[in-house]
Amino acid sequence: MKHRNCPPEQDGLLRPRLVDLIDMRHELAKLAALIDWEFFEREWAGFFPAETGRPATPPRLVAGLMYLQHLPRLSDEAVIDRWVENPYFQHFTGERFFQHQPPIHPSSLSRWRDRIGDEGAEWLLTKTIEAERASGVITDDSLSRMSVDTTVMEKNIAYPTDARLNEKARAKIVALAHEAGFLLRQTYARKAPLLAAQVGRYAHARQFKRMRKALRTLKGYTGRVMRDLRRQIDLLPPGAFRETVLGTLVLVSRLLHQAPRGSGKIYALHEPGADCISKGKARVRYEFGTKVSIATTIDKDFVIGMRALPGNPYDGHTLAEALEQVEILTDQRPELAVVDRGYRGNVVETTRVLISGSRRGLTPPLQALLRRRSAIEPEIGHMKTGGRLARCPFKGTWGDAIFAVLCGCGHNIRKILRHLRKLFAVLLAMIASALSATVVIRPENHHSTQRAAA
């Protein structure tokens, strides 16, 4: 059913309004006035085609909670708890009076993300760019020059070892068989965990011949359990549980037949789409997750484009998609893109591309913009330490696409709030200096007043 609007004002004579409780000069209160909230009510109305049933949550509440969630690095449960005790959060989401109960259950945010998809998340990023324009932080001229880089958004998985993966696969198949009511010939519930631990000891002692032998035995245990369940799969009635069992059997079969080195490997059973990415870092040799393309303005390092790239593609092949997304979000085609050497071999023709290290034949202004390219590196670090880009808690490639864009929204919100906070501090300093100038009594006037009194 169509979403409900904000509740009408009532009990205005008995309850104080939030605008009377908070300081409207606060940066969150100023930011709330810069965002076009009616846009979400119009655009997100198409996600509710049914006319019957309970009305959905107001879109401004959900959009505001998604902004606030990625502002101080909060989970779904934590942002709801913070909302109850913070009047500025409630004013930011459109409340008129202070509320003492949570507005929604934390699981509603997950259902809303599934409903709006990556397109709705890009609308959230677009409104942060418009808020930057309204606050005067960036201009149309600054949007024409951008820096593009890629990073790895890791998934919530442990370091993948064959022993651990095979043991988890065996335990998962046994659990599904027990849930279906099937009796397996043998579950290896005692031998398999001990053998998986022994594989790790052999590897630590560098006894690789024994390690490979124990790993083959462990794979045999998993294969026997899988084939035992496969023989009884016809007894399951059609339904969702049968599809779950079939999908698990296919996944475990891929795990058992995958080569030690090759493409399309499974690194986690709950995240089969995770990629193994090597970025040449000395501290972290391999990262397991999804590659993310980030486009920021050269002047103020605001995020104007962010997209997850499953499959670990070559950076030069992703530049065209990044420019296309920036053009959609900002309504203008960038004139200049500054990238690193990983983008050599790109096929972009509509935008001028400057690659790091190639300064021959460039004017001094272009050389300065090329040196400015490295400023995107600390911004990526801020997104990972101050934001939530370091690890994606959402599942699948669908969750990667949504989470990456929301991390860009949180980065822009933090920079806008910092800008508004600086403006407020400058304004207070100017007022204080003006008041001090009017109160100070000059020495000559003070002595003349004393003589007149004498």
| β strands within 226-361, DSSP E | 275-277, 287-297, 303-309, 336-339, 352-355
Handedness of CA 296, 302, 305, 309 (dihedral sign): positive
For residue range 222-242, list pLDDT tens digits in order.
999 999 999 999 999 999 999
Tell me what pLDDT residue 247 has. Answer: 94
First CA to last CA distance, the chain: 85
Tell me what pLDDT residue 168 has. Answer: 95
Q: Is the confidence at residue 453, as pLDDT, over 60?
A: no
**d(Cα 221, Cα 192) in Å, to the nearest integer?**
7
What is each CA distance from 129 to 124, 297, 338, 422, in whole angstroms? 9, 11, 20, 19
Tell me what pLDDT residue 129 has. Answer: 92
Region of 179 (left: φ > 0; alpha: ψ -120 to 50; beta: rest) is: alpha
Instruction: Give the pairing of strands 145-155 and 352-355.
Output: unpaired
Tell me what pLDDT residue 434 has. Answer: 80
What is each CA distance from 51 to 7, 128, 168, 266, in whole angstroms? 20, 31, 45, 43
Q: Is the confidence at residue 442, as pLDDT, over 60?
A: no
pLDDT average, residue stretch 256-264: 84
What is each CA distance from 382 to 85, 279, 307, in whole angstroms? 27, 18, 17
For residue range 286-328, list pLDDT tens digits in order.
999 999 999 999 988 899 999 999 999 999 999 999 999 999 9
| pTM for this predicted structure | 0.85
Tokens of 157: 């998985």
Q: What is the residue-averaged pLDDT of the chain?
A: 87
**d(Cα 242, Cα 236) in Å, to the nearest integer?**
6
**d(Cα 52, Cα 92) in Å, to the nearest integer?**
30
Tell me what pLDDT residue 58 has. Answer: 87
Q: What residue ranges of the chain are covered by domains with CATH 3.30.420?
A: 140-157+275-393
Tell me what pLDDT residue 452 has. Answer: 46
Tell me what pLDDT residue 8 has. Answer: 53
Q: Is the confidence at residue 13, as pLDDT, over 60?
A: no
Q: Is the confidence at residue 6, as pLDDT, over 80?
A: no
pLDDT average, residue stretch 36-52: 80
Tell me what pLDDT residue 444 has. Answer: 54
Confidence grade of residue 361 (pLDDT, cut at 50, 70, 90) = confident
Region of 442 (left: φ > 0; alpha: ψ -120 to 50; beta: rest) is: beta
Contacts 24+ apart (CB under 8 A), 366-374: 369/145, 369/298, 369/336, 369/338, 370/338, 372/147, 372/298, 372/338, 373/147, 373/298, 373/338, 373/339, 373/340
For residue range 178-217, list pLDDT tens digits in order.
999 999 999 999 999 999 999 999 999 999 999 999 999 9
Tell me what pLDDT residue 45 has. Answer: 76
At the top level of CATH, the class of 140-157+275-393 is alpha beta
**d(Cα 115, Cα 2) in Å, to the nearest integer?**
13
**d(Cα 148, Cα 321) in Å, to the nearest integer?**
11
For residue range 391-419, list pLDDT tens digits in order.
999 999 999 999 999 999 999 999 999 88
Q: Is the confidence at residue 145, as pLDDT, over 60?
A: yes
Tell me what pLDDT residue 454 has. Answer: 43
